[in-house]
Amino acid sequence: MDPEGAPRLVPKGRLRFDKVRGGDMLLLPERVVELNTSSAAILRLCDGTRTAAEIITELEADFNTSGLSEDVLGFLRDAHRRGWVTT
């Protein structure tokens, strides 16, 4: 994933909180992906208006940390490969 690319969920993808499971889910055609907290935080910001670099900056501010670049870019690459996000 290019840091200057602006990832967004695929058109048929939806993020939802599942009250029964007590966690975030990514709903896609014919599949449901249970997300951990950090995956859900990243995907919530993938709306096509922020670059990957801006998403990283926002997450580092939200979680009061630094050095998230490689982890976030790695997740976005994997999410793109799996068909969850597009640029």
Distance CA 27, CA 65 (A): 29
Which pLDDT band, with edges at 50, 70 and 90, does 1 fall under?
confident
pLDDT of residue 21: 85
pLDDT of residue 31: 93
Give 23-75 pLDDT, tens digit per residue: 999 999 999 999 999 999 999 999 999 999 999 999 999 999 999 999 999 99
User: Whole-structure pTM over 0.85, yes or no?
Assistant: yes
φ and ψ of 34, to 5 deg: -80, 125
Distance CA 82, CA 60 (A): 25
CATH number, domain 10-82, options 1.10.510.10, 3.30.360.10, 1.10.760.10, 1.10.10.1150:
1.10.10.1150
pLDDT of residue 15: 97
Domain boundaries, the chain: 10-82
Specify whether the CB–CB gap between 84 and 11 falls below 8 A: no
